[in-house]
Amino acid sequence: MNSNFDQHSERAKELRALLNKANHSYYVLDAPEIADAVYDQLYRELIEIENTHPALITDDSPSQRLGGIPSKGFKNIDHTIPLLSLDNAFNVNELASWYTKVSKLISSENKTIKEVDNPELICELKIDGNAISLRYENGILTKAATRGDGKTGEDITTNIRTISTIPLRLLLENPPSWIEIRGEAFMPNKIFNKLNFERKNTDQTLFANPRNSCAGTLRQLDSKIVASRKLDFFAYSLYFPANWEPIDDNFKKPSSQSESLELLKNIGFKVNTTYATTKNLNEAISYYKYWEIKKNSLDYATDGIVVKIDKFDIQSILGATNKAPRWAIAVKYPAEEKATKLRKLIFQIGRSGAVTPVAEFESIDLAGTSVNRATLHNAKRIASLDLHYEDTIVVKKAGEIIPEVIRVIKEFRPVDAKLVQLPQNCPECNSKLIQEPNEAITKCINTECPAKLKGLLRHWVSKGAMNIDGLGEKIINQLVNEGYLKSISDLYKLEINCLVALERFGEKSANNLLTEINESKNKNWNKQLYGLGIPHIGEANAKSLSKNFRSIEELSTIALETPENISNIYGFGNEMKDAIITWFEDPNNQKLIKELKAIGFSLEENLNSNYNSNQSDILHGKVFALTGTLDSLTREEARELIENAGGKVSSSISKKTNFLLTGEKAGSKLKKAQELGVKIINENELKLLL
């Protein structure tokens, strides 16, 4: 018995030290050391030991605090109402145990409530962001604070004011003297991915996930940086003086969590509308399972659901412990990261010559898909992982989308494992690889490298450029390997006998492909420009350039003689300007321009188009959405027409939408447009507008 107690005592000591160190790294240093799933596992082990041996509970145990220690970068602020954390469940069985326990507790505490045997629940997604407390006085936002340790947080009012979904004044004509709102600040996945892309290009450390990125943003001392990162906010609870009664007839004092969410919407807050009230436990479990599958379709991170007793009178009966309310529980989803065995590394050469190492590993199921490879970015990333062949690696999906190797479990490394290093020579052409000073990227600079040509051709035929249907990666590889293609212009010199000689190519499919290739000469100037593959020039930038410079000759002259005119274009920095200059200085690219001109490419704005440059601003400021199948235009062609005329195309319908362009089999956007009073037009009406 004593031996068992001693073992538990020693283990509890180890767990306290490890968890306290992890809390300090997470809350104070903004540099998490261990994954949430691992932390939760260790924390639960400590709780089990303390429940079995209460004598082992110490004042420094993580179980005795509400959260982390406030950072010293901001002024501290005391929470008028403590921000309690939630107890966790990790599967539906634990959720069921909580529900049974709560139902019994309600019954034992109060016999007057009729629904004690089956209390109604409300289920909400658990947003993986940062808990924020907002205080409004007489309807005006006066203070905003982080959770901190639950009693004291950080005053981040200035930064919170930059979040557009947080109202500075409540939509209440007669607000109470004070009101406190609780909610979650978060960074949408698309903003997170864009931010990490920019950090990668500037050789900065990447954020691990949207939550860490949000936390780092909220702690920025420069509120302009916060504003630029476009954080978002979901409100989920509110508190006000007990004796306050709304004077406005449009507002009703809430008696439940579901009514609170409705009130929050009415007074100006964004609420996550995925919540659902459920009459019993089975419905709550169905909600959990539904969003476990659907969560990957959301543009924000969620790591579980929160289940609450809906009615406030029952919540008050249950009360709270010193750490968490008894009337709510967080049900976590399984961790979206898994360990697997590294099998080999391949080194891909892109169209710019950049070497990208790709890890291939034993297949694992991750976030709903089977995964067996992940990009490692560059040599610096390999070195930071200390990656060896045959390592056991941990893989997750960055932003729930892109597989990423996040760490190595070194304890499982074979004794004779060899360190992974980038090759000295190009794996395709055997040329010496180089690394430019102050750059993380290693490159092949051989202008005749077949891998670079293949990458450039894949880009040229892609949907955003020439959109040549039927010319995929496999066919491009065959054509290059057989020597039929040595440049983009060679595509337009292909003969039918070259294609029918390839594997699985018949005369009909060969003729179809040649027709597609020939018709691509008529693509718009901006698509031709994008297809050239100038570094850092994506589709949007190519459109901007094409509107400012009407031909390849004009752009070339500006780049080589007065490049400052490129910098004057909105959104164009020195990096893009320098990339354009470098591209036009390359004799091979000047040769390519001449070759494309010779085979019939205009490489300029088509002034004879039905919708010419004189009409380029006719739809300026107008927002369109598209739905259904159009009569003669593809959706992409319709988008081009609208954007070339100065309009914008949105993927969703809102009050800001001016027109919904519809075709056959219109989807749900049509109904929403009708509800919002958005003008609905067909393809012919679009052409009349133009």
- pLDDT < 70 regions, the chain: 1-2, 23-38, 41, 59-60, 64-73, 109-117, 202-205, 208, 249-250, 335, 367-369, 398-401, 437-439, 607-617
Residue 624, beta-bridge partner list: 649, 659
Instruction: Pick the last residue of a domain from 288, 310, 332.
Output: 332
Do residues 277 and 250 both lie within one domain?
yes
Same domain flag for 394 and 535: no
Q: Rounded to whole angstroms, what are the CA distances from 325 to 61, 67, 85, 317, 330?
A: 19, 14, 8, 11, 11
| Residues 289, 98 contacting (CB under 8 angstroms) | no
Does residue 101 form part of some domain?
yes
What distance in Å separates the CA atoms of residue 189 and residue 77, rounded to the nearest whole number?
A: 30
Task: Specify if 295 maps to a domain.
Answer: yes
- Domain span at 214: 88-332
End residue of a domain, out of 598, 627, 648: 598
Handedness of CA 568, 569, 570, 575 (dihedral sign): negative
User: How far is residue 268's CA from residue 134's CA, in Å, rounded to a whole number?
Assistant: 13
Say what the pLDDT of residue 611 is: 45
Task: Please count the other Cβ atoms lying within 10 Å of the Cβ belonging to residue 154.
Answer: 21
Distance CA(147)–CA(425), nearest Å, equals 52
What is the structure's pLDDT at 121? 96
Pair of tokens at residue 330: 């967080």
Q: Give the CATH number for residue 23.
A: 1.10.287.610
Q: What pLDDT does 117 receive?
A: 64
Report the CATH number that the domain containing residue 312 is assigned in CATH.
Answer: 3.30.470.30
H helices of 279-355, in order, are 281-294, 312-318
Backbone φ and ψ for 225, nearest 5 degrees, come out as: -65, -40
Residues 537 and 454 in one domain: yes
Q: What is the pLDDT of residue 555?
A: 94
Is residue 72 in a domain?
Answer: no
β pairing state of 152-154 and 76-78 = antiparallel
Flag whether 547 is in a domain.
Answer: yes
- 51 and 148 share a domain? no
CATH classification of the domain holding 655: 3.40.50.10190
Residue 465: DSSP 8-state: T
Structural domains in the chain (count): 5
Domain boundary among 571, 598, 625: 598
Hey, which residues are catalytic here?
126
Q: Which helix (H) or strand (E) holds 137?
A: strand 130-137
Q: Is 183 helix (H, G, I), strand (E, B) or coil?
A: strand
Output the pLDDT for position 213. Answer: 85
Question: Is the domain of 370 the same as that of 507?
Answer: no
CATH of the domain at 342: 2.40.50.140
- Residues 563, 529, single domain; the answer is yes
DSSP string spanning 85-110? ---EE-SHHHHHHHHHHHHHHHHHH-
| Locus of tokens 């969590």 | 257
- Whether 658 and 572 map to the same domain: the answer is no
Residue that has been written with the tokens 């950049």 in this structure:
354
pTM above 0.85, yes or no: no
Residue 418 lies in a domain: yes
Residue 75 lies in a domain: no
Q: Under 8 Å CB-to-CB from 4, ≥6 apart: which residues?
A: none
Residues 398 and 282 in one domain: no
DSSP-derived 3-state class of residue 617? coil
Q: Are residues 52 and 174 in the same domain?
A: no
Q: Does residue 354 sit in the same domain as residue 390?
A: yes
Q: What confidence score (pLDDT) does residue 530 get? A: 92
Domain membership flag for residue 401: yes
Structure tokens at 558: 């500006």
Q: Which residues, 6 or more positions from 415, have their beta carbon under 8 angstroms from its beta carbon? A: none
- Report the CATH number that the domain containing residue 500 is assigned in CATH: 1.10.150.20
Gap between the Cα atoms of 584 and 575, Å rounded: 15
662, two tokens: 């519809």
Q: What are the structure tokens assigned to 105, written together?
A: 């507790």
Residues 241 and 274 in one domain: yes
On the 0-12 / 13-18 / 19+ scale of CB atoms within 10 A, 579 is middle
d(CA 364, CA 370): 6
**HEC letters along 633-653:** CCHHHHHHHHHHCCCEEECCC
Q: For the segment 67-101, what is each residue's pLDDT rounded down to a tens digit?
A: 444 445 678 888 888 888 888 888 899 999 999 99
DSSP letter, residue 629? B
Are residues 623 and 667 part of one domain? yes
Tokens for 446, please give them. Answer: 């051989």
Determine, yes or no, domain membership for 603.
Answer: no
